[in-house]
Structure 1
Amino acid sequence: MKKRDFKLIKKWIEKESQHVLNGRIFRYHKKRRTSPQDDKEGNFDVIECFPWVNVLAFDEAGKLILVEQYRHGVDDLTLEIPGGAVNHGEDVKLSAQRELLEETGYSSDEWHFLGNVQANPAFMTNDCSTFLAMNCKKTSDQKLDPMEEIDIHLVTLDSFKDKIKRGEIKHSLVIAAYALYSFWKNP
């Protein structure tokens, strides 16, 4: 068998960055970058977002706490786990605890960090940190943002897996959170 030469890929060099737009939840930049391999040059769209958190939260009966809400991007209702943006300067675990309480009214004293995933590294800058909250208790009413409308669903883990298999849950970060949980549960 012949030995094959592999080209080592290197980080591209930024030649120019133009700030195009400040949105409420992101900043849009146009970047001009050059490959150090062969000097090819191109323009790239980059969305700078706040970091995100997701929470796989189980109540005291072992039911998974899901949130149903309308999502403008897909113009449809989605079934997800609680989560949201990390506020500037906020610790990610505190953000996860805040999001769980605000969206569901549940809180927990038992937290585990499951891991980070990149939201979409092709054009987004942020990570999503996933946490596991066990033995959650209903401790308050929801404290929703002005434009949020969220219904809470309590489901078994098997029902959650079935909803993923049937395509009822399609949110990639929710499915990634389940994968991280599976790795944590069965190392």
Structure 2
Amino acid sequence: MKEKDMKCTTRSSEYIIRRPWLTARKDVVVHPDGRVQPEYYVLEYPDFINVIAITTDGRVIMEQQWRQAVGEVSLEIPAGVVEKGESPLQAAKRELAEETGFTGGTWEQLLVTTPNSSTATNHCYTFVARGVEQTTTQHLDATEDLRYFFVTEGELFSMLKDGRIHQAMMVAPLWKYFHNHNKD
């Protein structure tokens, strides 16, 4: 079946809720064969970014913070939302500086993923920043409470292999990073 033959159309959309961190709509979807799906729920989220940040002395910056939805302290790489008018790279640099005080270095995009393409509208851009240095202090949002710390690449790989990192949009790029790193 050709891709164009699989495309559905949206007959109508109705917003259920519009809040800064939760926008949900109900679409009426028509399938190519004419079947109508009267309730298809879509969550509209902004794009977000992740950063695999490596300091000038080769340490990787990690963070830990409470995640209410899953009820645990989560081990993560620096991450955040792409604000209106920002490119993903600008957002990544801003978020790393705000969350850790580290800036500079050389940056490359590693991966673009869709966090949940069946229900969410956003993309996640992951960057690798090599040679970052601490040039300022943390500037956290009022609702943020995170701690950053450093690990070696070996320690990070062990954390990944042992399943201590749970956030899927961080697990995927970390596996890609280590896959690419081992090929060099």
Normalising by the residue count of structure 2, what TM-score does the alignment of the two structures yield?
0.92
- Runs of 4+ in structure 1 displaced over 3 angstroms? 6-9, 182-185
Residue identity in the other structure for 1:17: S
Distance in 1, Cα, partners of 2:115 & 2:173: 12
State the shift of 1:180 in Å.
Answer: 3.2
State the shift of 1:7 in Å.
Answer: 7.2
Aligned counterpart for 1:23 among listed residues 8, 19, 29: 19
Aligned counterpart for 1:57 among listed residues 50, 53, 59: 53
Q: How is 1:17-166 mapped onto 2 (pairs within 5 angstroms)?
A: 17-36=13-32, 38-42=33-37, 43-166=39-162
Residue identity in the other structure for 2:61: I
Normalising by the residue count of structure 1, what TM-score does the alignment of the two structures yield?
0.91
State the shift of 1:130 in Å.
Answer: 0.6
Distance in 1, Cα, partners of 2:22 & 2:84: 13
Alpha-carbon RMSD: 1.6
User: Unmatched 5+ residue regions in structure 1?
Assistant: 1-5
State the shift of 1:184 in Å.
Answer: 4.2
Residue identity in the other structure for 2:24: Y
User: Unmatched 5+ residue regions in structure 2?
Assistant: none
SS at match of 1:95: helix
Match of 1:173 in 2: 169
Match of 2:178 in 1: 182
Residue identity in the other structure for 1:50: P
Match of 1:3 in 2: none
Distance in 2, Cα, partners of 1:177 & 1:121: 17
Residue identity in the other structure for 2:160: I
How many percent identity over aligned positions?
A: 29
